[in-house]
Amino acid sequence: MSKEKKEIYSKSLSYHAWQRLKKNKLALFGISIICLATLVAVIGPIIRPDSTPKANDQILEITTKKPGFTVDILHVRKNGESEKTSLWSKFSNGVETGYKSLPIYDYSFEGSNIVVEKYTGGDVNNGQILKFNLADVVYPLDHNEVAQSSQNLEFYSVEDGKLSISIDDLKKEIISNNIEAKKFYLGTDKYGRDMLSRLMAGTWISLSVGFISVFISLFIGISLGALAGYFRGWVDDVIMWVINVVWSIPTLLLVIAITLALGKDFWQVFVAVGLTMWVEVARVVRGQVLSIREKEFVEAGRALGFTNGRIIFRHIIPNVLGPVIVISAINFAAAILIEAGLSYLGIGAQPPQATWGKMISEHKGYIITGDAYLAVLPGIAIIIMVLAFVLVGNALRDALDSKSVDDLPAV
């Protein structure tokens, strides 16, 4: 045996696994994609162009516009009472804006009013002419207690010092803050919503479904697999019967049945997907536990009087997490595909929630037209996300192989 083989490796297996993983460029690419998607999902409403709840700001005058389309938007103050939004809702859905968006072709000022021509998108615009009071555009109704209609009014003023501002200042504020040249980098969908924002909002659903469904599958799969492998006998027979029954049912069919039973909503999809992915985890854990339960350290635990629960959860399960981590990465990709399929069929997360599968379903008719990108873009997003998790899963399989010590650095 060579001298290199006789060297003792003082680092932990997890350290060496990470060293091997870092050498895999495809794995690093997948990890980068996952980290970027996670960042977009977590802080999405803050960074996406349309920060409204679920990126559902519909402007019907600008439907199916090409990527890079730009139009002037007049933001008119809403008069309704603002609703309080929790911190969780801000990050998961978005924040309701205090303005309504109006696409305009041209505008001018007439005294204390702004006159706009609505954008129609035609070769000859010929849009509707609308007139708004300047203060109504900038301030909500309760700040506008005196609304005088004189065209020659020089100042708006409210008694008790609530508001005192000149017409010229109102015009400057509208030009600087309320009129925006908005660019849609990936165009708009058939409802006039920003495609880039919808894609970013869909990232939250895909990652949430993957994370929660994998967590559910791990909890059920590890528990049942460990019990079956450790106790064997009739416990193993019963659990394996349940596993085989669930395994024999087509995954998508079982998910649809569970979804219809629990209801079509956001959380029901997570539970439905999770309840169909645990069988593979349970089978792998059972096989690993059957082998490990015969090891000397397990016999030593029994001799010391340790309970079965302690032996299983503190001594056996930590030694089977390698294969489980690999399966989890692959199941994460499968969960994203299943959710996209359910949304495409209309039994996943319900509108107006942005999901990649639903976006494909809504725009599948555009594939044979010049606007095929409306269905292709969410399809590409699904492909990239699934590919990232598959690459990471394959790399983890190789990195966690403790028998591959030839490339480990000697200490």
Residue 101 covered by a domain: yes
Count of Cβ atoms closer than 10 Å to residue 145 Cβ: 11
Q: Are residues 207 and 73 in the same domain?
A: no
Q: Are residues 126 and 248 in the same domain?
A: no
Q: Are residues 391 and 355 in the same domain?
A: yes
Helix (H) or strand (E) holding 267: helix 266-274
Q: Are residues 177 and 210 in the same domain?
A: no
Compute the Cα dihedral for 61, 63, 66, 67 and give only its sign: positive
Q: Are residues 25 and 134 in the same domain?
A: no
pLDDT in tens, 14-39: 777 788 888 889 999 999 999 999 99
pLDDT at 298: 87
Mean pLDDT of the chain: 84
Tell me if 317 sits within 8 A of 222, measured CB to CB.
yes
Residue 181 covered by a domain: yes
Q: Are residues 202 and 168 in the same domain?
A: no
Domain count for the chain, please give it.
2
Domain end marker among 193, 218, 249 = 193
Helix (H) or strand (E) holding 88: helix 87-92
Q: Is residue 100 helix, strand or coil? A: strand
Instruction: Report d(CA 20, CA 43) in Å as an integer.
Output: 31
Instruction: Report d(CA 95, CA 84) in Å as an integer.
Output: 10
Mean pLDDT per block of 10 residues along the chain (411 residues) reads 46 75 90 94 87 89 93 87 68 79 92 91 86 87 44 42 72 91 94 94 91 92 94 93 90 81 77 87 93 88 88 88 88 91 85 91 91 94 95 86 52 43
pLDDT at 398: 83
Instruction: Report d(CA 162, CA 157) in Å as an integer.
Output: 8
Q: Are residues 188 and 246 in the same domain?
A: no
Rounded to 5 degrees, what angle do the CA atoms 270, 271, 273 make? 70
Residue 54 covered by a domain: no
Tell me if 71 sits within 8 A of 125, measured CB to CB.
no
Q: Are residues 179 and 73 in the same domain?
A: yes
pLDDT at 118: 93
Tell me if 377 sits within 8 A of 185, measured CB to CB.
no
Q: Are residues 247 and 375 in the same domain?
A: yes
Q: Are residues 237 and 367 in the same domain?
A: yes
- 10 CB-near residues (< 8 Å, 6+ apart): 411
pLDDT at 82: 61
Q: Are residues 116 and 248 in the same domain?
A: no
Backbone conformation region of residue 403, classed left if phi is above 0, alpha if psi is from -120 to 50, else beta: alpha
Q: What is the CATH number of the domain that holds 201?
A: 1.10.3720.10
Q: How many CA atoms lie within 13 Å of 240's alpha carbon, on the beta-carbon side? A: 14
Rounded to 5 degrees, what angle do the CA atoms 184, 186, 189 make? 85
pTM value > 0.75: yes
pLDDT at 336: 92
pLDDT at 141: 66
pLDDT at 147: 42
Q: Are residues 153 and 274 in the same domain?
A: no
Instruction: Report d(CA 390, CA 90) in Å as an integer.
Output: 31
Residue 234 covered by a domain: yes
Nearest to 272 by CA among 293, 282, 257, 250: 257
Which residue range is the domain that position 242 belongs to?
13-37+196-399
Domain end marker among 193, 217, 249 = 193
Domain end marker among 144, 176, 193 = 193
